[in-house]
Chains A and B, each alone.
Chain A
Amino acid sequence: MKVTIDGQSIDVEPGTTILQAARKIGGESVPPAMCYYSKLKGSGGKCRCCLVEVSKGSDADPRPMPKLVASCVTGCMDGMEVNSTASERVTDARKAVTEFLLINHPLDCPVCDQAGECDLQNLSFKHGKSETRFIEEKRTFEPEDIGPNIQLHMNRCILCYRCVMVADQLTDNRVHGVVDRGDHSNISTCISKAITNEFSGNMIDVCPVGALTDKTFRFKSRVWFNKPYNAHRDCKTPGCCGKTTVWMFGNEIQRVTGRKDEYHEVEDFICNECRFDHKDVKDWVIEGPRKFEKDSVINQNNYTRKLDTVVIETETGILKGREQDRKKISMRHKPLDAQEQTAFKEGNI
Chain B
Amino acid sequence: MALQTMSLSGRKKEVSNKKMTFLERLYLWTIIKGMMITIGHLFTRKVTIKYPEQVRERSKVYRGQHLLKRDEQGRENCTACGLCALSCPAEAITMTASERKPSEKHLYREEKYASVYEINMLRCIFCGLCEEACPKDAIYLTESKVLVPSQYDREDFIFGKDKLVMPLTEAMKNAQLKNAN
**Residues of A in contact with B (beta carbons under 8 Å apart):** 108-111, 115, 218-222, 224-225, 297, 300
Contacts and interface: CB of A to CB of B under 8 A. Distances in A.
Given A219-B97, A219-B98, A300-B86, A109 B79 contact: no
A218 B99 contact: yes
A212 to B, nearest CB: 16
B136 A110 contact: yes
A224 B97 contact: no
Contacts of A220: 97
29 contacts: A109-B81, A109-B135, A110-B79, A110-B81, A110-B83, A110-B110, A110-B112, A110-B135, A110-B136, A111-B111, A111-B112, A115-B81, A218-B99, A219-B80, A219-B97, A219-B98, A219-B99, A219-B112, A220-B97, A221-B82, A222-B81, A222-B82, A224-B82, A224-B86, A225-B82, A225-B85, A225-B86, A297-B86, A300-B86
A152 to B, nearest CB: 14
A129 to B, nearest CB: 17
Top 7 A-B residue pairs of the complex, sorted by shortest distance between their CB atoms: A110-B81, A222-B82, A219-B97, A111-B112, A110-B79, A219-B112, A110-B135
A110 B85 CA distance: 13
B92 to A, nearest CB: 15
A311 B161 CA distance: 37
Given A109-B135, A219-B99, 4 more contacts: A111-B79, A111-B110, A111-B112, A218-B99
A297 B98 CA distance: 22
A251 B98 CA distance: 20
The secondary-structure label for the interface of chain A is loop
A262 to B, nearest CB: 22
Interface in B74-98: 79-83, 85-86, 97-98
Contacts of B83: 110
Most chain B CB atoms below 10 A, which of A108, A115, A219, A224: A219
Interface in B95-112: 97-99, 110-112
Contacts of B136: 110
A70 B31 CA distance: 91
A211 to B, nearest CB: 15
Nearest to B134: A110
Contacts of B112: 110-111, 219
A221 B136 CA distance: 18
Contacts of A218: 99
Nearest to A297: B86
A118 to B, nearest CB: 13
Interface in B38-66: none
Contacts of B99: 218-219
A108 B136 CA distance: 10
Contacts of B135: 109-110
A136 to B, nearest CB: 22
A220 B136 CA distance: 19
Contacts of A115: 81
A205 B136 CA distance: 28
Nearest to A224: B86
A225 B94 CA distance: 10
A255 B45 CA distance: 66
Contacts of A222: 81-82, 86
Contacts of B111: 108, 111
A108 B99 CA distance: 14
A83 to B, nearest CB: 36
Most chain B CB atoms below 10 A, which of A218, A222, A224, A225: A222
A228 to B, nearest CB: 16
A111 B114 CA distance: 11
B141 to A, nearest CB: 19
Contacts of B85: 225
Nearest to B135: A110
Contacts of A224: 82, 86
A111 B82 contact: no
Contacts of A219: 80, 97-99, 112
A235 to B, nearest CB: 30
Contacts of A111: 79, 81, 110-112
Contacts of B82: 221-222, 224-225
